[in-house]
Amino acid sequence: MKKWVLPLHIFLFTTLLLPATAQKLPPGSLLGKSVAKSAVLRPPKGTIASITAGLTDKQLEQVILKLQQQNAALERQIALQQTLSSQSYQAAHKALFRALASDHSTTSLSGTLFKTTYNGQEEVFGVVPMHVLRQENSDSGYLPRQFTAGIFTGHTVTFIPAQVVQLSSSKTADVALVKFREEDQALLEPLTLHTQPLQFPQQAYAQGFARNLVTHQAFQLIGTTSTGVLTAQIPAAYEGERAGFCGSPVVGEDQQLLGIHIGSRYVENFPQEDTFFSAFQLNRPQITQGDIGYMAPASFLEQLVDTYHHPDLRPVEVVLGGQTITHLAVNEYVSRIELLGKASQVLWSKDTNLKVSWSAANAVLRLRSDIAYIKLYIGRTHAVSDNTDWFVKDQDAVRTVLYPYFK
């Protein structure tokens, strides 16, 4: 800061304050003699120089002292912010692991370690993004159910076996729960989940693998979508520049885990008339620079753990038009919404199997008074066994929900 803040003050004093003040200083005063040559033109009314033109030497010294104090306070604030960000990045680095499809893999995928308490006992889990798992008829998924995890232990990396034990929906939360062997628990440095309500905007920090390199990324959390996914403004990047970064820990200044990075929308590649982009903007801060980042929140990781222990749970609440329509399992998602009239005719419909929100449907429910029913098509992400392992499959319409809607 000293390289640019102090010269700015000097510029202020010598070009605005001092020349104007010199005209009012006593002719014999030391300050008056030193700056009289600068007082060539009378400053326009309303400028800083004109406002301070009548100050005495003592008053001007007080102004300078106050500015110096403000500068010192700013430098302390910046130093504190740098310390907090450094500590958060360090915490994220310890909880980061490298997910490998095999012992000889050259591709680095990001995973995160976290801990939680269940029935009074502390448990340690990992999480990886769903879209890197082996998928049916897709080249994008290549991580098998059992894989190798590279854990940072000091300045080295230790490789241990890991296994996917619980799937979420690949269309919304997009994370899978991972378990490690008991004998490897001592090597792990998991993060504590931050499950308290978040205040927006909020600064957050992430560390993960991007194109096989460990890199860090600052996030400005700005809110949540109606699906509960955290949204953030992040620095602009070329599409593919953050490849591998999904699965990275997103850490707050308290060094707790706020969420898991699950994807980005490169704003420059999406037209402004895109429906989901427009829906995202409803009632949210306007994003004018950078990209949009998405995070599966820490609260969802708790639901994922609960489902791991009790597979029949349906903890995910679907709220439309301010009303609870249904509850989903953690691996279910809304693939389509239809808004119907009194005669069950379709008045509006939209496929919603993206990570964004149901905001467009909420907007229609607010604007139209002839909606009598809400019909949801529920999809499910599940594992299908093959000859060697299993692959992940999305099924967009395993059941439907018809809900009478009354305003």
- Could you state, in order of their start, the residue ranges of all structural domains in the chain? 5-92, 95-190, 193-302, 311-404
Split at pLDDT 50, 70, 90, the class of 407 is confident
Instruction: Note whether 72 and 51 are within 8 A (CB).
Output: no
Cα separation, 166 vs 383, in Å, equals 10
Residue showing tokens 């607010």? 366
Listed in order, strand segments (DSSP E) in 154-212 are 156-167, 175-180, 191-192, 202-210
Helix and strand totals (H; E) in the chain: 8, 19
Q: What is the mean pLDDT of residues 113-119?
A: 93
306-357 pLDDT tens trace: 999 999 999 999 999 999 999 999 999 999 999 999 999 999 999 987 776 7
**pLDDT average, residue stretch 89-117:** 88
* Region label for 322, one of left (φ > 0), alpha (ψ between -120 and 50) or beta (otherwise): left
Closest by CA position to 245, among listed 355, 89, 112: 112
Which positions ≥6 away from 226 have C-beta within 8 Å?
A: 319, 320, 357, 358, 359, 362
> What is the structure's pLDDT at 36?
43
Q: Which residue has the higher pLDDT, 132 or 26?
A: 132
Residue entry with tokens 């403000």: 70
Name the 3-class secondary structure at 34.
helix
Please write the tens of the pLDDT for every residue from 153-201: 878 899 999 999 999 998 889 999 999 999 999 999 999 999 888 988 8
- With a pLDDT cut of 90, the percent of the chain lying above it is 46
Burial class (CB in 10 A: 0-12, 13-18, 19+), 203: middle
CATH of domain 193-302: 2.40.10.10
Q: Quick check: do 95-190 and 193-302 share a fold?
A: yes
Segment 86-111 shows an average pLDDT of 86
**Predicted confidence (pLDDT) per residue in 366-399, tens digit:** 999 999 999 999 999 999 987 778 899 999 999 9
Task: Check if CATH label 2.40.10.10 holds for domain 95-190.
Answer: yes
Sign of the CA dihedral 70, 71, 76, 77? Answer: positive
The 10s digit of each residue's pLDDT in 158-167 is 999 999 999 9
Q: Is 32 helix (H, G, I), strand (E, B) or coil?
A: helix
